[in-house]
Structure 1
Amino acid sequence: MKQIIAMGGGGFSMEQDNPLLDEYILNQAKCTKPKICFIPTASGDAEGYIAKFYAFFENQLCIPSHLSLFKPRENIEKFLLNQDIIYVGGGNTKNLMVLWKEWGLDHILKKAWKEGIILAGISAGAICWFEEGLTDSYGDKLESLKCLGFLKGSCCPHFDGEEERKPAYHQMIDNAQMQPGIALDDGVAAHFFDQSLKVAVSSRKEASAYKVNKNESTEEKIETIYLGADRLG
């Protein structure tokens, strides 16, 4: 079974005191102590970002590691195909796509996906799996970017977290500049099996996922399960 978990925002880098999404990702692995590799390409392998990853995951029941394309390992494919989970960080999606294609990661990650390794990611690490994504990679203006195409349609992260995201996504879909797709609030993850959405989950009670269509900027709220419900009270 091929799995992708796309997060609009949240996780260890945005919610240091709220582990719900990252715990959810770990819990999807078939083993009790999964190997999880962080790919921080979109941030330019920012050291602080990598440190935050280890600060969280070294305290979980897992084996964390990371892959740098600026200080690459000898056999990237062998290393990645030995993971249980591959977790892609946020940042500049355009730069991520260029570097991945140069290093052949686009093909390696597709192979990993087909072999059942869980692919996950936040923001740039969410939209990269779709055919298109709404990105700020080009500067102040939001643009459409062609991505890997493992998942059909388009994706917009930070739907409630950045004021300009929602109107820009609707406008670009209405003007046929982007395909219809899924919008994710901060704190929301869309979990896909093969190319179908299985469930949307959240680390925040009011956060949701949405299907966004071309018909007069319509959006359909997707039932989103709050992961902290069993911790209330």
Structure 2
Amino acid sequence: MSPRHLVALLGGGFSTDEDGLLDDWLLGHARTSRPKVCFLPTASGDAPGYAEKFLGAFRDRPDCEPSVLHLFDRKLDDVALRAFVLAQDVVYVGGGNTANLLAVWRVHGLDRLLREAHDRGTLLCGISAGANCWARGSHTDSFGPLTHLPDGLGLLPGSVCPHYDSEPGRRHSYRSAVATGALPAGWALDDGTGALFTDGRLTETVARVPGASVYRVVGDGAGGADERALPWRVLPRGRGDAGRRR
């Protein structure tokens, strides 16, 4: 049987939340009970503090084996890099600048390796820029003002918008981009939510707290855009019971 192609978009996780609920939910969808989880801090310029925060949150967990892949001070040759990436069960991408992330990945050939890992069943995921990168297009502040970036990896159809409820102007700007066709129809995530895609199809949406939502945003054909909050479940409180479903 061929492996499932999994992508998870996160509106939170270790970098913003103290309860670990979204990370628990995420690891529950990995292909093994103790997955190898690699963090990519590329979008932040490999900020040391960001990598250390990831390791601080994951190194003492009994349910995973964490590591960090740096590209700005790369140590691995092409053969070793490919072997390392393909050995991971989960690739977790941090936030920062989406456009810079994509450019650096392409220079190092990491975009091709992530596609190969995706085809082999590695769960790809991330927050903010780390959610944007997987879709065909995204809504970003990579260039200063909020704008559209129709230049993602395309592992998910459509577009993605993070921080839908928390950053001023996000909702209006993203809806406008979809309405004009600058971005294809897509998904917008409030902070504190998660969305799992299986073989390119949305299969689960969750929230840390009631009221946070994932939205489907589509053009209405008349110069506007419609948004629809998708059904979701609230993750149960308490680490280790956040929905490990295979």
Q: TM-score, normalising length from structure 2?
A: 0.90
Q: What RMSD in Å do the two structures reach over aligned CA positions?
A: 1.3
Give the secondary-structure state (helix, strand or coil) at the position aligned to 1:94: helix
Post-superposition shift, 1:33? 1.6
Corresponding residue for 2:57?
56
Q: After the TM superposition, which parts of structure 1 deviate over 3 Å for at least 4 consecutive aligned residues?
A: none
Moved more, 41-50 or 53-62: 53-62
Post-superposition shift, 1:189? 1.1
Where structure 2 has 5 or more consecutive residues not aligned to the other structure, the ranges are 242-246
Post-superposition shift, 1:176? 1.4
Corresponding residue for 1:3?
6
Q: 2:153 aligns with which of 132, 148, 151?
A: 148
Matches within 5 A, 1:206-221: 206-215=211-220, 216-221=224-229
Task: Say whether 1:82 aligns with 2:87.
Answer: yes
Task: Say whether 1:185 aligns with 2:190.
Answer: yes
Matches within 5 A, 1:84-233: 84-215=89-220, 216-228=224-236
Report the number of matched residues. 229
**One-letter amino acid of the structure 1 residue matched with residue 228 of structure 2:** E
Give the 3 Å change call, closer, same or farther, for CA 93–174 of structure 1 in structure 2.
same
Post-superposition shift, 1:144? 2.8
Q: Distance in 1 between matches of 2:218 and 2:146?
A: 22
Q: Does the CA contact (< 8 Å) of 1:67 and 1:73 recur in 2? A: no
Give the secondary-structure state (helix, strand or coil) at the position aligned to 1:6: strand
Q: Distance in 2 between matches of 1:141 and 1:156?
A: 11
Q: Does the CA contact (< 8 Å) of 1:41 and 1:96 recur in 2? A: yes
Deviations 1:48-86 (A, max 9, x none): 111110111012121100100012232211101001111
Q: TM-score, normalising length from structure 1?
A: 0.95
**One-letter amino acid of the structure 2 residue matched with residue 49 of structure 1:** Y
Give the secondary-structure state (helix, strand or coil) at the position aligned to 1:197: strand
Q: Percent identity over the alignment?
A: 41
